Structure 1
């Protein structure tokens, strides 16, 4: 039994073979049936979802000897030739390797001539976003005045990189990620047709790893089938793809729950020696804790995971974590996963991520109680570096708060504080307590390192939170982050830790949890890059201002209380009126 080139054997040949793209298929078939064929199409979507396959099927549909027909026959000379690639009038171009203006000019010269073998000349340009600006300009001229016998099909995974002038001249179709159930069913059908024995949980695991791409799912199935002896099992699928088995999940989760860093280090070393990749391990852990969280939030529903073979043990593990802690752990692992893509030592970063989620405190635990527990832990020899750091920071914060309150009572101006005072480093906190006023300069008139830090008045932003303008900014924020990443990976690494929370006029307010991330983002060189990207994404000049997250939460709470105060007075007046009438 041979499993070589399984994807080529199961590549869609008709629209009926397309999986999970019914909205695209129905629209194209109706257009062909009604003879409303466009001169240019844009197929956009994640990798492996059928964009290029759909383009070839469309080429066969319009050129089939029995058509144009929504269902190409795949037996006539035109269909067979297009499938094999021998029809010279149907040209497939990889824009990643043919991205210059010369290649597009060659196309522009040839489109003038009528097709010689079939009804339409079809140009399929894959990864079209890789074309240069000059090539796009040359292509635009052809798209504006196309000959009647030419059809362009552009395929891309990154449509935001295409000029708007190109997109506006194409009919755009968005290909979606294929659902897990549809993928599993298609893999099961392939196994039945090819004589491959496979367990359902193994097929579900392969579907999950493909991330919605049918091509990737079939390629993984071919790889696992080549490895398996007689039957594809879940353990074999996990082993071949470098994943983690259920027992390893349970051991790591137990160590995280017990905050046992020593056990985590031993387990991590064992995983690395077994050939597991750090990025794959952290990805699997995110899925695992996501399933725990889902079971806690929706107890009556199956967790939707193929990794857990013992539901009772899985349920007991979910009960040992609070949902707030699970949220924080998933968020932390996700941040480290993003950083791991650029790390020189991914194993070290994986170990740090696990140690980090071990030290996440349970929500609701007051810092002062943590501080009181430190001496007792020290007496028993169990004091950790994290507890010591928490105590030191808490004591420093308490001292700073006392000094600030004393200065405000005495009426001392903020700019007149002694040069040695560490309160200037806590400008964000002071701003939150004094309605947005903070330290903008140092003694002697020397400007601060970050001129905009601490000068933000939060009242206008708190009043404008949730506005329509801000919602538009938040909806496009992922695109802005991606553009910043393309402009500079290091700038993106600092900016991603900030969250847009409000917007007023031409200013966007970003809230940061970490002072270092905030200060580095505020540096003039980083600010210039970020604001240039913001102007390009939102089409107008935008500046960003920053605040610490705790200060923003305090300002939000004050705004909500201020909004609720008139309602409280109205209720009080109503009670007084009722009392006077009754009296």
Structure 2
């Protein structure tokens, strides 16, 4: 007797045998029980998830001699012959090879004749997206109003290629990828029934490679059984599928972490000698580091996606990397994977990718991310920033003096003073929560101690969503808020540091502040206040906290003796003090 492939011999014969598609099988069973069977169905989803099998089960259920029933009996002549494909009234077509107008016109001409052998005439058209434009148009009218004895079942892996006129005439069911646990359980059941001994780890490896397709998993299992003759081990499964064992990836990840480039290059050379492809190796590496990232972000969560090998060794390795390091590794691997498509020697790009990753990790470890940016800047830049901030404050004081003494014309309503820093001379909003290094030193110390707390980490993770929601509500407020960045948070307040004074002042307007606080509450799930500070003051405060021996020396402009009191108008004397006597020209009008 000729061998029958596992995916054929174990093809589902009833709705309850369809794995991972309960949301579809339950709906179809209810429709049959309540006599609400539609005239047209569209089954879409990845390959090997049961679309065609479900279509044939539905054809048997509506035509069963003991039904229509929720499950076909598979015993009557109609069920047996439909399963064998020998019933003339159940027609199964492949649209990839029958995609012309003539084939569809033939269906349109024959659809009006009543079935001769069973209750319903069922047309199962697989890969329906392959129909030509003319064939799709020829199918439209028949699909919309077929005779009462006809049911159309269309199946496709690419529903986005179908005309919306066809989709709108069908009941659409989306088949999903089968989860890892369901696949492993099904494979274990088949192995028990077939008398095959299989390791749990080997079945998990097969399920991962199938990418949610049950047919692919059974084909791989059938191939391994043919080689071993009745025993499926993990090492055999890895060797026959052309993959790399997870232990090898763990050793490579450890070598990268320890900057042991000789071990990394030796492993790559051994992979190539064993016939492994560089493209498959880098793809598996991306998947492995993705698993490390999931375990690193949420170490206590069990198997987030159903496709993670979370043994103790992998968890320990995940803890050795930071999330930022893994993000950078995946970005580098993705870049070189795309470059491999055009390379004549892709294994060289694999070596370059791993060498670059190791080099980047070495450089990242030499940098201390906890130190503020201002502490790493050269001393001259820090001094220039302090001088600039002092000049901004004195320019603001000078502008107010000019206006109070009548020495200048006040700006029109709604227009900023023409000093280049309009917000410096404005009085803060009455309800604003603006922190100052000199006035609110104790509060700033409290905020500095809150940076490592979990509620601040939650604010950082959700900040991009906050900005997007503010942009959706009012784009002008987003334009001001995007200049700031969250630097700390207490349980009821978020502290945002701004580089520009006018951006901070505009954000603190009552209407803008109320909008931002309402968005914070909707995103983070609790009422939060908004507090603001200048980024320079925050960096200085953090630097003083980290290094109390260094005190930020305030730069003061002392008036020179020769210019003090030289002019009667005080605002002229201040201008000379600020810019120098050579830069000030006084004209009498």
SS at match of 1:332: helix
SS at match of 1:466: helix
SS at match of 1:359: helix
The match for 1:466 is 468
Note the alpha carbon deviations across 1:18-71, whole angstroms, 9 max, x for none. Answer: 000000000000001111111110001111100000001011111111121111
Partners of 1:367 and 1:274 in 2: how far apart? 41
**CA 229–73 in structure 1, closer or farther in 2 if over 3 Å, else same:** closer
Partners of 2:502 and 2:184 in 1: how far apart? 50
Partners of 2:340 and 2:229 in 1: how far apart? 35
The match for 1:77 is 77
Instruction: Give the deviation of 1:85 after TM superposition.
Output: 0.7
Instruction: Give the deviation of 1:149 after TM superposition.
Output: 1.3
Instruction: Give the deviation of 1:337 after TM superposition.
Output: 3.8
Q: Compare CA radii of gyration and give the structure with the larger one.
A: 2
The match for 1:279 is 279
SS at match of 2:331: helix
Q: Is the 8 A contact 2:12 2:53 kept in 1?
A: yes
Q: Is the 8 A contact 1:464 1:503 kept in 2?
A: no
Partners of 1:100 and 1:468 in 2: how far apart? 52
The match for 2:157 is 157
The match for 1:53 is 53
Note the alpha carbon deviations across 1:348-404, whole angstroms, 9 max, x for none. Answer: 443343334333346596699xxxxxxxxxxxxxxxxxxxxxxxxxxxxx9xxxxxx
The match for 2:257 is 257
- Work out the number of aligned pairs and report it: 411
Q: Is the 8 A contact 2:45 2:175 kept in 1?
A: yes
Q: Is the 8 A contact 1:465 1:503 kept in 2?
A: no
The match for 1:373 is none
1:237 aligns with 2:242: no
Partners of 1:152 and 1:167 in 2: how far apart? 12
**CA 503–308 in structure 1, closer or farther in 2 if over 3 Å, else same:** same
Partners of 1:555 and 1:67 in 2: how far apart? 72
Partners of 1:468 and 1:112 in 2: how far apart? 59
Instruction: Give the deviation of 1:211 after TM superposition.
Output: 0.7
**CA 503–255 in structure 1, closer or farther in 2 if over 3 Å, else same:** farther
For residues 56-135 of structure 1, the aligned pairs below 5 Å read 56-135=56-135
Q: Is the 8 A contact 1:245 1:307 kept in 2?
A: no
Q: Is the 8 A contact 1:292 1:318 kept in 2?
A: yes
Q: Is the 8 A contact 1:104 1:135 kept in 2?
A: yes
SS at match of 1:360: helix
The match for 2:5 is 5
Instruction: Give the deviation of 1:344 after TM superposition.
Output: 5.1
The match for 1:29 is 29
Partners of 1:21 and 1:556 in 2: how far apart? 54
SS at match of 1:172: strand
Q: Is the 8 A contact 1:144 1:169 kept in 2?
A: yes
Partners of 1:566 and 1:366 in 2: how far apart? 39
Q: Is the 8 A contact 1:14 1:72 kept in 2?
A: yes
Instruction: Give the deviation of 1:177 after TM superposition.
Output: 0.7
For residues 14-25 of structure 1, the aligned pairs below 5 Å read 14-25=14-25
The match for 1:38 is 38
Mark the runs of 5 or more structure 2 residues left unpaired by the alignment: 370-380, 382-387, 389-419, 421-463, 477-496, 515-528, 532-589
The match for 2:144 is 144
Q: Is the 8 A contact 1:206 1:237 kept in 2?
A: yes
Mark the runs of 5 or more structure 1 residues left unpaired by the alignment: 369-397, 399-404, 406-433, 435-461, 472-501, 505-553, 574-583
The match for 2:322 is 322
Partners of 1:165 and 1:56 in 2: how far apart? 25
Q: Is the 8 A contact 1:3 1:226 kept in 2?
A: no
For residues 283-362 of structure 1, the aligned pairs below 5 Å read 283-301=283-301, 311-338=311-338, 340=340, 345-361=345-361
The match for 2:179 is 179
Q: Is the 8 A contact 1:62 1:69 kept in 2?
A: yes
Q: Is the 8 A contact 1:125 1:155 kept in 2?
A: yes
For residues 305-454 of structure 1, the aligned pairs below 5 Å read 311-338=311-338, 340=340, 345-361=345-361
Q: Which has the higher helix share?
A: 1
**CA 463–355 in structure 1, closer or farther in 2 if over 3 Å, else same:** closer
Q: Is the 8 A contact 1:127 1:155 kept in 2?
A: yes
Partners of 1:226 and 1:27 in 2: how far apart? 38
**CA 243–565 in structure 1, closer or farther in 2 if over 3 Å, else same:** same
Q: Is the 8 A contact 2:195 2:230 kept in 1?
A: no
Note the alpha carbon deviations across 1:229-263, whole angstroms, 9 max, x for none. Answer: 45211111111111112332123212322344444
SS at match of 2:123: strand
**CA 562–246 in structure 1, closer or farther in 2 if over 3 Å, else same:** farther
Q: Is the 8 A contact 2:89 2:117 kept in 1?
A: yes
SS at match of 2:300: coil
**CA 130–468 in structure 1, closer or farther in 2 if over 3 Å, else same:** farther
Higher mean alpha-carbon deviation, 342-351 vs 314-323, is at 342-351
The match for 1:525 is none
Partners of 2:127 and 2:513 in 1: how far apart? 63
Q: CA RMSD in A?
A: 4.2
Instruction: Give the deviation of 1:313 after TM superposition.
Output: 3.6
The match for 2:222 is 222
**CA 307–298 in structure 1, closer or farther in 2 if over 3 Å, else same:** closer
Q: Is the 8 A contact 1:246 1:307 kept in 2?
A: no
Q: Is the 8 A contact 2:59 2:122 kept in 1?
A: yes
The match for 1:267 is 267
If the length of structure 1 is used for normalisation, what is the TM-score? 0.62
Partners of 1:146 and 1:469 in 2: how far apart? 50
Partners of 2:294 and 2:265 in 1: how far apart? 27
**CA 35–315 in structure 1, closer or farther in 2 if over 3 Å, else same:** closer
Partners of 2:152 and 2:331 in 1: how far apart? 43
Partners of 2:8 and 2:328 in 1: how far apart? 43
